[in-house]
Amino acid sequence: MNFASFQTELQSMEKKKRDEVMSLISQVVLQGRQLGFFIWFVMQKSDSNLIPTYIRENLPVKFVIGNAEKQTNITAFGAEVNTKEKDFQLGEGLFVCPLIANQPKLCHFSYLDFNILEAVNELNK
C-alpha cells in the first residue's frame, strides 16, 4: 500500500487512533535513523499534506523515478540541489543516500514488460 492510500484510510479513523499511529511512525523514523534503520515510503507525491515535513526530512534515502516536475525534485532533494534535466527512460530516476550519494545520482530499476493479468489468466486455463 502506498503511503497516500494509507493516510486516506487513517483519516477515516478517530483522532486518537490517528495520533497514535502517526506517533508510532514518527518513533520508527526518528529512532530508526539513529540506529541505521530506514523506513521506505512509496508515494507519488510527498508534500506536507500527506507526510509531515519533520518525518520527510528524516528519511535520508530518497528516490525520484521518471520525469518528475521541478517541484518534486526540490521536495525530495532540497532547493539547493541542482538536478539536471534528463529524459529518463522507463525505470530510471535519481536517488540520494548518505555516504553513497549526497548529490542525486542516476539509478535504474527493473520493470515488468508484460501484462500481469494476461499472465495470471494463462495460468488459470
Instruction: Check residue 113 and give its pLDDT.
Output: 79
Q: How confident is the model at residue 19 (pLDDT cuts 50, 70, 90)?
A: very high
Provide the percentage of residues in the chain whose pLDDT is more than 70: 99
Provide the percentage of residues in the chain whose pLDDT is more than 90: 26
DSSP strands (E only) in the chain: 62-65, 92-97, 101-108
Q: How confident is the model at residue 16 (pLDDT cuts 50, 70, 90)?
A: very high
Domain ranges of the chain: 1-58, 61-125
Q: How confident is the model at residue 1 (pLDDT cuts 50, 70, 90)?
A: low
Measure CA of the first residue to CA of the last residue in the chain; give whole Å.
29
Instruction: Check residue 82 and give its pLDDT.
Output: 81
Name all contacts of 18-21 with Cβ < 8 Å and 24+ positions apart: none
**What is the CB-side half-sphere exposure of residue 107 using CA atoms within 13 A?**
19
In tens, the pLDDT along 79-98 reads 888 887 889 999 999 999 88
In tens, the pLDDT along 25-50 reads 999 999 988 888 888 888 877 777 78
Indicate whether 55 pLDDT > 80: yes
